[in-house]
Amino acid sequence: MADPVVASHLSLVLKAPPTISSPSHSLPQQHSKPMASSLNSAASLRLFVSSSSSSSSAAARLCLRSTSLSFSSSLKSLAFSPLSRHKRGSAVSMSSTGGFSSVASPKCAASDPDQLKSAREDIKELLKSKFCHPILVRLGWHDAGTYNKNIEEWPRRGGANGSLRFEVELKHAANAGLVNALNLIQHIKDKYSGVTYADLFQLASATAIEEAGGPKIPMKYGRVDVSGPNECPEEGRLPAAGPPSPADHLREVFYRMGLNDKEIVALSGAHTLGRSRPERSGWGKPETKYTKDGPGAPGGQSWTVQWLKFDNSYFKDIKAKRDEDLLVLPTDAVLFEDPSFKVYAEKYAEDQETFFKDYAEAHAKLSNLGAKFNPPEGIVLDDGPR
């Protein structure tokens, strides 16, 4: 889905001393047919954060809680040797030369609330300048959407654990183009070393929904990051756009996550944001009258006319079937064909308030799937009334 580079169907933590820099390397072009769907409660621990607290003092408090005091935030800018990278894993980020390099970040027990709130403000500014709401939603969903409820062990069960920052997972066909989302927010991660990748991905996703006019998502934070690419899930856990039996496929994927029919349909409604680009996903038109002028990079085919506004247009437009310039994938059309899905799709087409309520609950549930929280009950940022 999304801008500046999106093609989806809505879906480091190292503690080793730096050695020598590794050379930059470029990721290969990704051409893929499958395309993932862009694819809970509030925590009992509520932290009231003083706005006068500085990021540096917050980071210091956080690192005092950590098991190691010897690595500063500057560690993130140091590259590791190929041998170290092979042993411990690497994250992908842009180097000064424009290529990709492997970098490490300090390991702290949980994200710092002060830094989370500051990072959220930076994400809001990024959204205003880059119009990247859809791809940030997709980033969070694809990190969480690998969860398998039948596997108890963390992180083998997948889910919201920051594994999507590693090249091996970014290369999965369903994640085509998501390296661009990582590049968009990497500077925020560099700035706030006390925020885990797992939390940053989910914070960016929820903030994008809210800033596009969607509902307030009842989020909690404190997700622990996986430490290396060896902990990434295998390919094939995310939804495809055009399976032979769309309804069966959606249920197979989302039931595995522990989600139900109502949540499948509600989450599908996030396709009100974004576009599909055929050069990445194999789906959609190169451009339409709604996308040829942007905003952001032009092109692609959107599901809705105002594809940067979060509302219930997705359901209305699928039901109407009037505009050939709007995208309808097999997994979209089936929402009005399958008897169980249709109950919710019809309701959401008529009642945006109900859609917003159900969507917010489903999004929050998805964002917590498979996550390991520290503290276990998570951290809720108290913002007061919206």
- Residue range 114-146, pLDDT digits in tens: 999 999 999 999 999 999 999 999 999 999 999
Write down how long the chain is.
386
Residue 319: which CATH number?
A: 1.10.420.10
Per residue in 294-308, pLDDT (tens digit) is 898 899 999 999 999
- Within a domain: 130: yes
In angstroms, how far is the first alpha carbon of the chain from the final one?
27
Per the structure block, which two tokens stand in for 122? 């930076």
Which domain range does residue 276 map to? Answer: 244-361
Phi-psi region of 325 (alpha: psi -120 to 50; beta: other; left: phi over 0): alpha
What sign has the CA pseudo-torsion 116, 121, 126, 127? positive
Q: How many domains does the chain contain in total?
A: 2
Using CA atoms, how far apart are residues 282 and 246, in angstroms rounded to an integer?
17
- Within a domain: 62: no
- Within a domain: 52: no
Amino acid at 188: I
Per the structure block, which two tokens stand in for 318? 């699928």
Are both 196 and 222 inside the same structural domain? Answer: yes
- What is the structure's pLDDT at 307? 96
Are both 175 and 198 inside the same structural domain? Answer: yes
- Within a domain: 4: no
- Within a domain: 347: yes
- Within a domain: 291: yes
Using CA atoms, how far apart are residues 385 and 337, in angstroms rounded to an integer?
39
Using CA atoms, how far apart are residues 197 and 35, in angstroms rounded to an integer?
23
- Within a domain: 37: no
List the catalytic residues.
142
Per residue in 15-66, pLDDT (tens digit) is 333 433 333 333 444 333 333 333 333 333 333 333 333 444 444 444 444 4
Q: What does the DSSP assignment read for 21-88? A: PPPPBPPPP---S-------PPPS-EEPPPTT--HHHHHHHHHHHSS--S--GGGGG-B--HHHHHHH
Are both 293 and 224 inside the same structural domain? Answer: no
- Within a domain: 54: no
Which residues, other chains included, contact 310 with Cβ-Cβ below 8 Å and sequence gap of 6+? 133, 209, 212, 213, 214, 270, 272, 273
Are both 357 and 329 inside the same structural domain? Answer: yes
Express as a percent the part of the chain with pLDDT over 90.
66
Are both 292 and 329 inside the same structural domain? Answer: yes
- What is the structure's pLDDT at 91? 52
